[in-house]
C-alpha cells in the first residue's frame, strides 16, 4: 500500500476527521458552557474525562451515519493514528502545570497542545487543511495566554467553534476530492 493509498483510505473511511472533530468541538463547547455558567472545576473535569470518550463516540457517530469506519490491516497509518491519539493524554501534565501556575492558562495551554496534536493529521489524512487548524489553535492559545485578558472560558468557546468549523471543512474536502496527498 502506497502512502497516497493509505491516506486516501484514512481520509475516506474517517471522513477527513469530520466526526472526531465534531465530537471534540461539542465537548469543548460543553466545557465552555460549564465554565461560563457553572464552575471551572466541573468544566475542566468534563473536558479531561470526556476526552477519553472522543474516539468511541467518533466510531459510534460514523456508524450512525452509515460509515464503516474500518481501516485495513495493511494500512501503515493505523499505528500513526493510535500514536497521535495518545499525544493528548500524555500532554495533560503540561496543561496541568500551566494551570497550576496560572489557572486562566488551562484552556490556552490545552489549545496549544491540541493544535500540536493536529499536525500529524496532515500526514495521516493527506490534508493540508490541518496545518491551518493547528496554526489557529496554537496561535489563539498563545495570544489568549500572553497578550489579552478575556474571561477564562473564551479559549474553550473559540476552540469548540473552530473544531466544528474545521469538521465541516474536512468533510467538504473529502466530499469534493477523491485523490491527492499532503
pLDDT digits (tens, 9 = 90+) for 77-115: 888 888 888 889 999 999 999 999 988 899 999 999 999
Residue 130 lies in a domain: yes
> Residue ranges of the chain with pLDDT lower than 70?
178-182
Look at residue 8 in the predicted model and tell me its pLDDT.
87
| Structural domain of 94 | 3-63+75-176
Q: Looking at the whole model, is its pTM more than 0.75?
A: yes
Number of domains in the chain: 1
- From the number of C-beta atoms within 10 Å of its C-beta (0-12, 13-18, 19+), residue 25 rates as buried
Residue 181 lies in a domain: no
Look at residue 181 in the predicted model and tell me its pLDDT.
46
Look at residue 178 in the predicted model and tell me its pLDDT.
61
Angle at 13 between CA 8 and CA 16, to 5 degrees: 70
Cell of 106: 488551562
Residue 110 lies in a domain: yes
Residue 69 lies in a domain: no
- Give residue for cell 500572553: 146
Residue 84 lies in a domain: yes
Residue 70 lies in a domain: no
Is the distance from CB of 95 to CB of 113 less than 8 angstroms?
A: yes
Instruction: Give 8's Cβ-side CA count (13 Å radius).
Output: 10
Look at residue 167 in the predicted model and tell me its pLDDT.
95
Look at residue 110 in the predicted model and tell me its pLDDT.
96
Residue 68 lies in a domain: no
Residue 79 lies in a domain: yes
For 141, residues 6+ apart whose C-beta sits below 8 A from its C-beta are: 107, 108, 109, 110, 111, 112, 115, 155
Amino acid at each position: 500500500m502506497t502512502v497516497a493509498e493509505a491516506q486516501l483510505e484514512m481520509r475516506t473511511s474517517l471522513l477527513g476527521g469530520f466526526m472526531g472533530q465534531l465530537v471534540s468541538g461539542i465537548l469543548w463547547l460543553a466545557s465552555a458552557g460549564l465554565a461560563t455558567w457553572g464552575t471551572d472545576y466541573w468544566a475542566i473535569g468534563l473536558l479531561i474525562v470526556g476526552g477519553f470518550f472522543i474516539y468511541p463516540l467518533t466510531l459510534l457517530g460514523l456508524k450512525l451515519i452509515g460509515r464503516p469506519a474500518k481501516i485495513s490491516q495493511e494500512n501503515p497509518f493505523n499505528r500513526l493514528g493510535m500514536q497521535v491519539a495518545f499525544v493528548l493524554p500524555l500532554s495533560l501534565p503540561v496543561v496541568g502545570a500551566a494551570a497550576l501556575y496560572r489557572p486562566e492558562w488551562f484552556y490556552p495551554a490545552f489549545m496549544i497542545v491540541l493544535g500540536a496534536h493536529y499536525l500529524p493529521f496532515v500526514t495521516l489524512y493527506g490534508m493540508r487543511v490541518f496545518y491551518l487548524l493547528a496554526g489557529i489553535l496554537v496561535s489563539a492559545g498563545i495570544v489568549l495566554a500572553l497578550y489579552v485578558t478575556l474571561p477564562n472560558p473564551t479559549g474553550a468557546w473559540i476552540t469548540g467553534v473552530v473544531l466544528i468549523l474545521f469538521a465541516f471543512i474536512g468533510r467538504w474536502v473529502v466530499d469534493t476530492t477523491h485523490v491527492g496527498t499532503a
